[in-house]
Structure 1
């Protein structure tokens, strides 16, 4: 028996008639706004309920002692909720975690080299061990520098087994946007989980994507990351995180490319900015060359007292490469060189921006 309902008696009607007409409008017909103008307009939007949001974020400070206790117990902290949590986590790290070394991973960047992250963690932990005489005499003799030539498994083994005298000693790894575009692949998440499972590592991370939990299996959540979830909405705009994503209703141009690079540079240290200027000025004065050799950059940077060693320069270059400000390519003579992936016009505008 087939039952039918007379929907029209309830005031509900359906029209199956189609006009047969198709829209002739295209996305390309939309009059896009210059990205610089659009970002400036967004920046000028006055925040609403500012007092309430400040009070909300300040209320989380009462949780700082609890968060430290949970880290000491071996948990990882995963912060979720609407709004940028970057300032909140940095405030927590700079105050409540002042006695612990902290390494920051900016997951909102387009590309991240996790091998370099592990090398940095190993070097930080090495420094921690060297400050403890009894520990260093027993462990440091077994470990040889440099760490940048060690395999990933060796680095993880060092971070996991080289325990300090105090059980309360560890490195805090802060991951802004662990669900960011540069970390969403399975391999990156596996590496992060292995880092988090090391006995001398504690992880504090933020997530914003609604499907972020799908990145992990049961073992990663409960055994490796050992997450303790916290709902901490801040309602803060994603200013820093959004710099690296193009706006949908904007088009890019030479001026905008220079402006975006200038914004990134402003977030770096003055010495890092000066090193970048050396490379930019060399590229402008040698347009026929394919790039600047590393040795040349190091020599000039050292003469100007911007770096004290090649390790310091490499740290600046890693920052540049993570933000895609500088790239490496091989010259015709076989030597690797550094170059800025901008046109001459963009490079001139960038130098004028950072020299203001």
Structure 2
């Protein structure tokens, strides 16, 4: 092959690349609209989902029985101080709970549902401490010969004190532990960095054993090497169950459905996230005004301009008008004329939906 031909091919590729970038970036204005999102009725979607027939039931039952044969091994690894991490296609909720009810009967079990939208991690740690305390009390083998009463009020203690109690490095009750079952450790309620750090600290406590599941392909990026090998001490198990996410899916908003306040707020938030921070702030001004003055026709354009200029969101009426035009193009706002002839801006959504929009866009 001639060397000049290779140079020409490379030049042609580069030229086509930059040409494509130029054409692709020529339209700065987003063209997304609420009406462009294909929505279906929520009831229709639920009915269709309920009619889905589960296939390969015999094979799934056989697969679950194979996993049950691993219960003794899993229990042994937990007693040795390792954590169990289950991954694979399908809901692992039933599998893990069956393992806990079958093989972890000698220890207390605390369940954390990571698929919920919000979780109070301190409440979970308090529950762990209370279960461990009851377990120690039932054995009546406290190091001092009797159970101390100082540690009965866990709700008033700090996280460091609670974790120190769960660690119990000076305790002789090394065979006494509480098992923590975490469904979807990569779920929305546990996904932030601070919560993951707390979970790692909980996992390395001497009186705690962790059994968790994950589903997101990028979930391991939540942890660094120390968390994986030293704190969680994971034993990874590929246990695809092919079971539907019936329970977990209930708590996720049905973005594909229409007909509810939550869905209207969600679709509006999807569009707003494609706009600039200034545009979002201006939309928040309109939203807050409409919530505070629900009996009015909307916010007059002049009043909106004055508020936005005071907050340094716009520098001129022209800038504001460009934002309002973009809102109209996205079908986020509408205008109507008051009796005195002033044009007013309003959002065609109910107050409940507006409140949810404010939460969605922060």
Using the size of structure 1 for normalisation, the TM-score is: 0.64
Please, which moves more after superposition, 41-50 or 178-187? 41-50
Partner of 2:244: 237
Report whether the alignment pairs 1:78 with 2:80.
Answer: no
Q: 1:117-151 CA distances to partner (integer Å, 9 max, x unpaired)?
A: 11111111111111122316447327332100000
Are the structure 2 counterparts of residues 26 and 97 from structure 1 closer, same or farther at C-alpha, using a change threshold of 3 Å?
same
Displacement, 1:252? 4.4
Report whether the alignment pairs 1:158 with 2:173.
Answer: no
Report whether the alignment pairs 1:118 with 2:139.
Answer: no
Are the structure 2 counterparts of residues 62 and 133 from structure 1 closer, same or farther at C-alpha, using a change threshold of 3 Å?
same
Report whether the alignment pairs 1:56 with 2:63.
Answer: yes
Displacement, 1:58? 1.7
Partner of 1:148: 155
- Which whole-Å CA distance do the structure 2 matches of 1:246 and 1:119 have between them? 29
Are the structure 2 counterparts of residues 236 and 3 from structure 1 closer, same or farther at C-alpha, using a change threshold of 3 Å?
same
SS at structure 2 position matched to 1:134: coil
- Which whole-Å CA distance do the structure 1 matches of 2:8 and 2:256 have between them? 46
Summarize the alignment of residues 30-49 of structure 1 with structure 2, pairs less than 5 Å apart: 30-49=37-56
Are the structure 2 counterparts of residues 41 and 136 from structure 1 closer, same or farther at C-alpha, using a change threshold of 3 Å?
farther
Are the structure 2 counterparts of residues 124 and 33 from structure 1 closer, same or farther at C-alpha, using a change threshold of 3 Å?
same
CA root-mean-square deviation: 3.1
Summarize the alignment of residues 85-104 of structure 1 with structure 2, pairs less than 5 Å apart: 85-104=92-111
Are the structure 2 counterparts of residues 164 and 32 from structure 1 closer, same or farther at C-alpha, using a change threshold of 3 Å?
same
Larger Rg: 2
Are the structure 2 counterparts of residues 212 and 47 from structure 1 closer, same or farther at C-alpha, using a change threshold of 3 Å?
same
Report whether the alignment pairs 1:222 with 2:218.
Answer: no
SS at structure 2 position matched to 1:2: helix
Are the structure 2 counterparts of residues 196 and 46 from structure 1 closer, same or farther at C-alpha, using a change threshold of 3 Å?
same
- Which whole-Å CA distance do the structure 2 matches of 1:187 and 1:71 have between them? 25
Displacement, 1:40? 2.1
Partner of 1:181: 188
Partner of 1:3: 5
| 8 Å CA contact 2:174, 2:206 repeated in 1 | no
- Which whole-Å CA distance do the structure 1 matches of 2:163 and 2:82 have between them? 18
Partner of 1:265: none
Q: Which runs of 5+ in 1 are unaligned?
A: 8-13, 258-341, 344-356
Displacement, 1:167? 3.4
Partner of 1:249: 256
- Which whole-Å CA distance do the structure 2 matches of 1:198 and 1:156 have between them? 7
| 8 Å CA contact 2:174, 2:207 repeated in 1 | no
- Which whole-Å CA distance do the structure 2 matches of 1:125 and 1:140 have between them? 12
- Which whole-Å CA distance do the structure 2 matches of 1:54 and 1:134 have between them? 43
Displacement, 1:253? 1.7
Displacement, 1:246? 2.0
SS at structure 2 position matched to 1:182: coil
Displacement, 1:82? 0.5
Q: Which runs of 5+ in 2 are unaligned?
A: 10-15, 265-350, 353-362
Give the number of aligned pairs. 251
Runs of 4+ in 1 over 3 A off after TM superposition: 4-7, 24-27, 136-140, 162-167, 254-257
Are the structure 2 counterparts of residues 254 and 186 from structure 1 closer, same or farther at C-alpha, using a change threshold of 3 Å?
closer
Displacement, 1:83? 0.4
Are the structure 2 counterparts of residues 89 and 105 from structure 1 closer, same or farther at C-alpha, using a change threshold of 3 Å?
same
Using the size of structure 2 for normalisation, the TM-score is: 0.63
